[in-house]
A and B are shown apart, each in its own frame.
Chain A
Amino acid sequence: MTVILLDPTGERRPAGRSRAARPASLEGRVVALLDISKPRGDVFLAHVADLVTARGATVRRYTKPTFAKPAPADLRRQIAQECELVIEALAD
């Protein structure tokens, strides 16, 4: 006899999303540097900022309130409005 089981999952498949096209150059781009508030993430990002600026991009810095929680929706929206590219730092 066949057995019927009820699906315990959320029955939701994540919508497939394609990645944004990779830029050929950083020249003239606005790049967000997102510090997730891990120790020494600022040190890492300062170095990244130098490298990105040297390639002709404008850098804007952002900070998540805590590494332990997802970035607030408002912060994500702000970054999306103000920048074209994002580099997110994890450090310890």
Chain B
Amino acid sequence: MSSAPPLPEGLVAVVKQDCPTCHLVSPVLGEIAARGGRLTVYTQDDPGFPAAVPAAARVHDDGLAVSWHHRIETVPTILRVAGGVEVARAVGWVRGEWEELAAVGPLGAGLPAHRPGCGSLSVDPSLADQLRVRFEGQRLGSRRIEVAELDDELETAFDRGWSDGLPVVPPTPARVLRMLDGTSRPPDEVVAVVPPDLVEATVEKVAVNAVMAGCRPEYLPVVLAAVEAACTDSFNMHGLLCTTYFSGPVVIVNGPIAAQIGMNSGVNCLGQGNRANATIGRALQLVVRNVGGGLPGGVDRATFGAPAKYSFCFAEDEDGSPWEPLSVERGFAAGTSTVSLFPGHGPSSIIDQISRTPESLARSFAARLRAVHHPKLVMALGAMLIVSPEHARVFAEAGWSKARLRQELEGLLLLDGDDLVRGAGGIEEGMPAALAAGRRLPKFIPGDLAIVHAGGRAGMFSAIIEGWVTGARGSQLTTREVRQ
């Protein structure tokens, strides 16, 4: 931030000509000056105003540096300055307060006892952004790119390769400063080292990309936590990016932050239409693209990719869930806001509109889960099961905990290895005979099936997010606390 201009000793008034209250008090200011008080009047618009004050005591606050730095929100404001420091302030016209500040006896005879002031030009909505950039712009370290008058800044963003294919919000300094209001972390703090180019991403760089993605400032802490989680050895963003497989980072938000920023955990929660869901996942992808240099066709070698790679972000429905949320399972205290990243794509559907017993419904789930990736491939890739409210109710009414469901699914997904070996069923794909023949193998290595609760209140469907290579060899579900 640029430094505040020092204030002169004595009384300091800030006024503007375009303010009836300032006109009302101008004789009072003249009176103070005439009585020999040490008075300086900063005038925001008309350097000749107020005429009642001698020109020598008037200063044109051209550029509004004094008003902005000294947080003048209303004119007139009168300050007492002693030793270079503001010691008292009165806002608007309040006779008693002015008399106390001026300490020169009765003031403004014939005026009403009080009259509210007008908005200071330094907080005028049409100027506020411009002033903030002028006085706070030095906080921003990113290279400034000037877009020529005849160029369209949205097209510039496309031309420079900053976009995921959709238009981006132009990251102007004013928008980035507003975005940075969403966190208490300083702009130059390093959030993570982003693959594949292994470039340090500062809070500011994440904010620039969050602006482009369309985030509101209050989403920024979630985006920051998502970037932190992505750039860990456990999540292995590099591997996830460069694989030929479909997956990308899926962002699951838990805790009070989800409701605070208006995230969708209910109707159409994996679909379109919610700004936070749509832009937080997108911001993470833009950070990987722009800061990390992870470009499709470059390091990103996906055969198909997936629509999920534009943005795949939702909140868990904790209030409607019979079970503990994902964040608590992951070791965080209830009520803690977290971001979890899952390497996945999808969703795939599970239809079961008939089952009313948990045993039957679990079998439906298992039948669909055993087919993910390939019915004959096991123990290599993970999955996330999103249980809908109507399905969760079946388990809740029967008293099944999440752990019980997982345990039952593990039993149902213990598969006959002879059916899985290469060549079995006339399908060459499958597990090596040395690993599978004559044994029973689990579809998922324990811990590689995550379970969350979300979705609209109606619909006896659940969802599967198909995962990628799990464990130390691939990407693991990774959770970070959201810090404001």
Q: Which residues of A contact B (CB under 8 A)?
A: 1-12, 14, 37, 65-66, 68-70
Which residues of chain B come closer than 8 Å to A66, judged between CB atoms? 239, 469, 472-474
Q: In whole angstroms, how far apart are the Cα atoms of A90 and B212 in the complex?
A: 37
Contact of A68 among B156, B172, B292, B475 (CB under 8 A): B475
Q: With an 8 A cutoff between CB atoms, is B43 at the interface?
A: no
Q: Quick one: closest A residue to B470, CB to CB?
A: A68
- What is the CB-to-nearest-CB distance from A41 to chain B, in angstroms, rounded to a whole number? 14
Q: In whole angstroms, how far apart are the Cα atoms of A26 and B210 in the complex?
A: 52
Q: Quick one: closest B residue to A4, CB to CB?
A: B144
Instruction: Number of B interface residues at 8 Å Cβ cutoff, please give it.
Output: 43
Contact of A6 among B140, B201, B472 (CB under 8 A): B140
CB <8 Å contact, A10 and B236: no
CB <8 Å contact, B474 and A68: yes
Question: 20 more A-B contacts (CB under 8 A) besides A3-B153, A5-B170?
Answer: A3-B147, A4-B145, A4-B147, A4-B172, A5-B144, A6-B173, A6-B204, A7-B143, A8-B171, A8-B291, A9-B290, A10-B197, A10-B199, A66-B469, A68-B243, A68-B473, A69-B238, A69-B239, A69-B473, A70-B238
Q: With an 8 A cutoff between CB atoms, is B205 at the interface?
A: yes
Q: Quick one: closest A residue to B475, CB to CB?
A: A68
- What is the CB-to-nearest-CB distance from A5 to chain B, in angstroms, rounded to a whole number? 5
CB <8 Å contact, B153 and A5: yes
Interface residues of B in 207-252 (CB under 8 A from A): 208-209, 212, 233, 236, 238-239, 243
Q: With an 8 A cutoff between CB atoms, is B142 at the interface?
A: yes
Decide yes or no: A2 and B143 within 8 Å by CB, A8-B205, A8-B286, A8-B290 being known contacts: no
Q: With an 8 A cutoff between CB atoms, is B39 at the interface?
A: no
Contact of B149 among A2, A8, A12, A70 (CB under 8 A): A2
Q: Quick one: closest A residue to B163, CB to CB?
A: A8
Interface residues of B in 168-209 (CB under 8 A from A): 170-173, 176, 194, 197, 199-201, 204-205, 208-209
Q: With an 8 A cutoff between CB atoms, is B109 at the interface?
A: no
CB <8 Å contact, A14 and B197: yes
- What is the CB-to-nearest-CB distance from A91 to chain B, in angstroms, rounded to a whole number? 13
Q: With an 8 A cutoff between CB atoms, is B293 at the interface?
A: yes
Q: Tell which of A3, A5, A66, A70 has the most Cβ of chain B within 10 Å.
A: A5
Q: Quick one: closest B residue to A12, CB to CB?
A: B199
Which residues of chain B come closer than 8 Å to A3, judged between CB atoms? 146-147, 153, 170, 172
Decide yes or no: A5 and B474 within 8 Å by CB, A10-B292, A69-B236, A69-B238 being known contacts: no
